[in-house]
Amino acid sequence: MKKRKSMNRRALALFTIFSLLFFILTYRFLVIQITGQVEGKELRAYAKERYAKDAILEASRGSILDRNGEPLAHDTITYKLVAVLDPSVSPKNTDSPKHVVDPEKTAEILSQYIDMDKSDIYSILTKDAFQVEFGKAGRNLSYERKNKIESLKLPGITFVRESKRSYPNGVLASHLIGFASMDYSDPNHHRLVGQIGIEASLNDYLEGKNGKIEYESDRWGYILPTSGAEVNEPENGDTVYLTIDRKIQTFLEEAMNEVNQEYEPTEIMGIVADAKTGAILAMSQRPTFDPNTREGIEENWQNLIVETAFEPGSTFKFVPLAAAIEEGIFNPNEKYQSGVFNVEGSQPIKDHNDVGWGEITYAEGFQRSSNVAMANLVKKMGTDTFRNYIDRFKFGMPTGIGLPNEAAGVIQYQWPRDQYATSYGQGTSVTALQMIQAMTAITNKGKMMKPYLIEKIVDDDGNVVKNSGMQELGSPVSSETAKQTLKMLESTVNGEHGTGKPFKIDGYTVAGKTGTAQIYESGKGLLTGWNNYLFSFIGVAPADDPELIVYVLVKQPNLDKEKYESGSVPVSKIFNSVMKNSLQYLNIKPDESIEKPVIHNIPDYTNKNVDKAIKELTNLHVKPVVIGNGKKVTATVPQANTKLIENEKILILTDKEMVMPDMTGWSKSDVMKFMKATGVHLNIEGNGFVVSQSIAPKTIVTKESTGDIKLQPPLKQLEQKNKKRDDDSSE
């Protein structure tokens, strides 16, 4: 009985304790349920803080395309190398650690794959940090290099995917396009920001707006299926279509490369514009840079064409000529005394040969580029009237082309000598864009067009958010005056006494004006010497109904004084090549009956026999290059119905694996075609034509393949061949 009583007491005690605990737990549960708080903290907020996640959905930066949709700048994917150092991320006693276990071995291996010394890598890998990065050496890694490093299975080594701005054409129009680079100022969000050129001026259009995703996760970070994730989609940047034509831009770049290599001038500027609309079809300069690597940018950040003003020299003479014709005081058959024009209280104005050519007509004076003829015309119309025409042609004010830091130039018109000197392009400074703008009034029947670069801007849905920048700026002269001015400009190229004879082009009649401007340097004054001039030519063609304006300037080229080589020689090598190739590419009919080297409507060879395609394309005088081992054509680059210049390459893709061709002698534009056709990424070094390639010919390639291509100008190749020949002969 005593034992039973004792057991009952213990049972009662246990019952009481458990009942009390149950009551306390129930009470606590009800309190939490009713108040939703624990120790004064909201449970809902605590759960959201612990399990609610958000992530940035990055917007893509808009592409920059040429007028035909060819890419000039676009986003690509690269990878950033990251090393995890904290041992806590690795499970205990595991055979697959998630952190760097052996820093010395890891550093030794990584030094073979990134541009960093082993000791520097080791120093990073031994820091007291959760994870580390490797600076510039660990960024912008290609997919292929990432895969190679991943295949080594180094513990703790991982990668972060990033966007990078890519410029597939290298130096092509680099100062115009500019570049965008990653801004790391916000540690939580890195973004591409335009630094110069179109990338900077249209950054608000190109950048886009990032999105965001908010969701609830489990303890491991995975989205709960019932969380109802909230997604704000990113708004990708707009696509910018420029007026630039990549083919014409390539003509300009290659011609400038050759002159730059041969004459080593301090600067070159070149512009190609549509004579009827003012659209800029090509624009480049030397020195230049590669926007992918920034190599060369330290030589010149400035867009010379936009940001600098200069004395144009005699190319400016079409302005006072047009003014004199409009005012009715220009008689081409009237005679004047060349040689000297006296200015009261100042030094006399002289012709470029100092003594002139005796008494000649104004027509001959313009052909000979007589300064005295221009001064006489200004005197006849009156300096105030001439000043009014300078304003009507809008010199002295920016064109408003939309690029940063556009110069306005300075009209020096205070003293009588300055007023007369302006008529032949001295004393007063202008910009290359102002000269193009003024010339459109002559080529467009008196109607002056604003030079512009934007064809259109399109959002991610295909809606046009900004239309063409084409704009008429009024009529500084009449249609008849423009016509007569063109005839006089034509006579400088084709006339008996014309200074522009080097600028004749077979099959087309060119009108234009040469220029030789003195160069002023602070502290030195006006430079002297055979080479110390800014040589230029502004020309249009065909002369009877101009389609193109080409303006080329070459500063201080290394001319051969012993052979009396004139400054027109390097200028004409650029102008003639660019003008003729561009006219043919645009299928502008020659003035004379000559064979047109433009092929129209390249047939569609898709699913056709490769051998048949090769035969037919060869008969069309283009050069087919087969990229593959198949028998059936899957695509051609350029595609069907594309205009091709005679002997231009057309790439043929087949229904089997792609094969690397022998690129020796290929131009940069040909290499770009290959990259576009295959997706293979090639790092291009130099300018000119291919002299070496890292991927051997006939090697099978895929879209993930990468390689290196080295280019050299023809003259450089010749120098090396001659040097090798000399070295061999001396042995």
- For tokens 């912008």, the residue is 140
Q: For helices 318-326 and 371-381, what crossing angle results, to 10°?
A: 40
Give me the half-sphere count of Cα atoms (radius 13 Å) on the Cβ side of residue 67: 17
Which are the contacts of 298, defined by CB distance < 8 A and separation ≥ 6?
none
Give me the half-sphere count of Cα atoms (radius 13 Å) on the Cβ side of residue 671: 30
d(CA 163, CA 695): 26
Give the count of beta carbons closer than 10 Å to the beta carbon of residue 354.
8
- DSSP letters, 589-638, are PPSS-----EEP-----TTSBHHHHHHHHHHTT-EEEEESS-SBEEEEES
CA dihedral of residues 565, 569, 571, 574 (deg, nearest 10): -150
Instruction: Determine contact, residues 372/342, Cβ cutoff 8 Å.
Output: no
- For tokens 């399109």, the residue is 458
Which are the contacts of 503, defined by CB distance < 8 A and separation ≥ 6?
493, 510, 512, 514, 537, 539, 568, 572, 575, 576
d(CA 503, CA 539): 8
Residue 577: C-alpha distances to residues 89, 278, 505, 581 (Å) = 64, 21, 9, 6
Residue 311: C-alpha distances to residues 316, 339, 483, 643 (Å) = 9, 22, 26, 39
- Break the chain down into helix, strand, coil percent, rounded to 5: 35, 25, 40
Cross-strand bridge partners of residue 312: none
Distant-in-sequence contacts of 457-462, Cβ < 8 A, 24+ apart: 457/202, 457/205, 457/238, 457/239, 457/240, 457/241, 458/238, 458/239, 458/241, 459/238, 459/239, 460/235, 460/236, 460/237, 460/238, 460/239
List the alpha helices (DSSP H) in 103-207.
Answer: 103-110, 118-125, 143-151, 174-177, 197-201, 203-207
Residue 383: C-alpha distances to residues 105, 203, 363 (Å) = 81, 44, 21
Residue 314 falls in the annotated catalytic set: yes
The residue count of the chain comes to 731
Catalytic-labelled residue, pool 174, 201, 284, 314? 314
Torsions phi, psi for 669 (to 5 deg): -65, -35
Torsions phi, psi for 580 (to 5 deg): -65, -50
- For tokens 């534009």, the residue is 669
In the chain, the amino acid numbered 390 is I
Per DSSP, the chain holds a count of helices (H) and strands (E) of 21, 35
d(CA 323, CA 481): 8
Q: Which residues are catalytic?
A: 314
